[in-house]
């Protein structure tokens, strides 16, 4: 649509009809709802109107005779049919922009044919932008997975951290769905202790826009923490979407501390173990090939990982308590038993005996989280 500009009645300024329609609809919706409304893609609450007009649904078909495929996309081998090339509004507009008035006129489309039926409103969708809740959790069970653990439609672990934290928050915010994201994840048989693992929950299309800090803490204490094996520690805090990137930083760059109960094939005295471990106590690099247990879903690469500290305390001749701090992403189980020599040096290699991991705990994830509240 073109309208005269303010400077000249002959100069024309192009204005898309969709912007005029949006503005008019926003005003009408605002009047009905008795609230301010405007067309704004960044708005917190959105109302999407779907309009159907079957009579004009196939009007674009004539474009196949007058325009080539739009640039920037390859259609080789796909059958260059119009239905494939005009598979969305963007492509139809690209075709129209390449067509001349003469092309349109030759197909009786300049001006377009007048409709004989009215368009109908097929659906109205109201949605609110996601809310993000940040916190930390501890896990005291060796039978709770990080996210729902399902194999062949059978739930292997009875519940998960994601469910125990996400479902109460989803209910409190009356959200359509939730997404749980942690700074890394522990295996189902690994406990998460100390100050907990950082996480955030994305609440999709919440009907409640906000909870007060007091309401959030009430959800934490009465709903989430009613399940003893999983606890949300500290505070839960609403954060802006851009702050969730901090979780990825913790997953990839931060230091993590572990405690392991290890079985040793050969009995080792405390002083002997101390001598063997001493060269490694202040840090070293372990080369880790893709572990056998995850070869089906990980790239077959060798990854160097930094072990920052290592300490071995002999409990009994065949048992040791191993504490270590490592670079994020280090495979601790494989470091202990060597994974058939795929992790080197391993604890088994350092102590010169076969070793196996009996129990593993994460005792600290070094990440400042949740982020401070924005003013």
Give catalytic status of residue 187 as yes or no.
yes
Check: CB of residue 339 under 8 Å from CB of residue 292.
yes
Rounded CA-CA distance 199/57 in Å is: 46
Q: What is the H or E stretch that residue 303 is in?
A: strand 302-316
DSSP collapsed to 3 states, 147-213: CCCEECCEECCCCEHHHHHHHHHHHHHCCCEEEEEECCCCCCCCEEEEEEEEEEEEEECCCCCCCCH
Q: Cα–Cα distances in Å, from 125 out to 32, 205, 363?
A: 16, 11, 45
Q: Of these residues, 187, 189, 217, 366, which one is catalytic?
A: 187
Q: What is the DSSP letter of 160?
A: B
Identify whether the C-beta of residue 182 lies closer than 8 Å to the C-beta of residue 247. Answer: yes
Q: What is the distance between the terminal CA atoms of the chain, rounded to a whole angstrom? A: 43
Calpha distance 342→355 (Å, rounded): 14
| Cα 334 from Cα 344, distance rounded (Å) | 9
DSSP string, 105-118: HHTT-SSPPPPSS-
Helix (H) or strand (E) holding 366: none
d(CA 157, CA 142): 10
At 142, list the tokens: 């060796």
Please spell the DSSP secondary structure of 24-42, one letter per residue. HHHHHHHHHHTS-----TT
60, 68, 112, 236 from 91: Cα distances, Å? 11, 11, 19, 45
Task: List helix spans (H) across the chain.
Answer: 17-33, 82-85, 89-98, 101-106, 161-173, 213-222, 245-253, 270-277, 332-337, 347-351
Cα 131 from Cα 173, distance rounded (Å): 9
Encoding tokens for residue 329?
Answer: 């992403």
Which residues are marked as active site?
Answer: 187
């Amino acid at each position: 649509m073109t309208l005269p500009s303010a400077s000249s009645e002959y100069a024309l300024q192009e204005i898309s009809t969709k912007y005029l329609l949006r503005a008019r609809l926003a005003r009408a919706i605002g009047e009905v709802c008795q609230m301010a409304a405007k067309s704004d893609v960044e708005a917190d609450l959105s109302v999407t109107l779907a309009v159907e007009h079957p009579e004009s649904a196939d009007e674009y078909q004539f474009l196949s005779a007058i325009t080539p495929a739009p640039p920037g996309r390859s259609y080789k081998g796909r059958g260059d049919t119009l239905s494939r090339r005009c598979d969305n509004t963007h492509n139809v507009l690209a075709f129209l922009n390449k067509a001349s008035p003469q092309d349109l006129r030759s197909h009786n489309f300049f001006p377009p044919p007048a409709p004989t039926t009215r368009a109908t409103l097929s659906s109205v969708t109201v949605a609110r932008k996601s809310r993000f809740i940040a916190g930390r959790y501890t896990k005291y069970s060796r039978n709770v997975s990080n996210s729902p653990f399902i194999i062949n439609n059978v739930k292997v672990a009875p519940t998960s951290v994601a469910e125990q934290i996400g479902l109460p928050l989803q209910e409190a915010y009356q959200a359509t769905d939730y997404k749980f994201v942690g700074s890394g994840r522990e295996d189902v048989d690994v406990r998460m202790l100390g100050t907990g693992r950082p996480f955030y929950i994305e609440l999709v299309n919440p009907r409640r826009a906000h909870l007060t800090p007091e309401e959030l803490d009430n959800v934490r204490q009465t709903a989430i923490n009613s399940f003893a094996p999983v606890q949300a520690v500290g505070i839960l805090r609403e954060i802006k979407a851009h702050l969730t990137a901090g979780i990825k930083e913790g997953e990839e760059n931060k230091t993590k501390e572990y405690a392991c109960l290890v079985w040793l094939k050969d009995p080792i005295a405390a002083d002997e173990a101390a001598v063997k471990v001493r060269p490694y106590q202040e840090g070293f690099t372990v080369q880790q090939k893709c572990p056998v247990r995850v070869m089906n879903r990980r790239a077959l690469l060798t990854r160097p990982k930094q072990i920052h500290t290592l300490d071995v305390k002999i409990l009994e001749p065949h048992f040791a308590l191993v504490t270590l701090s490592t670079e994020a992403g280090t495979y601790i189980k494989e470091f202990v038993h060597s994974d058939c020599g795929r992790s080197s040096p391993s604890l088994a290699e350092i102590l010169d005996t076969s070793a196996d991991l009996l129990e593993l705990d994460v005792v600290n994830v070094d990440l400042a989280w949740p982020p401070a509240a924005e003013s």
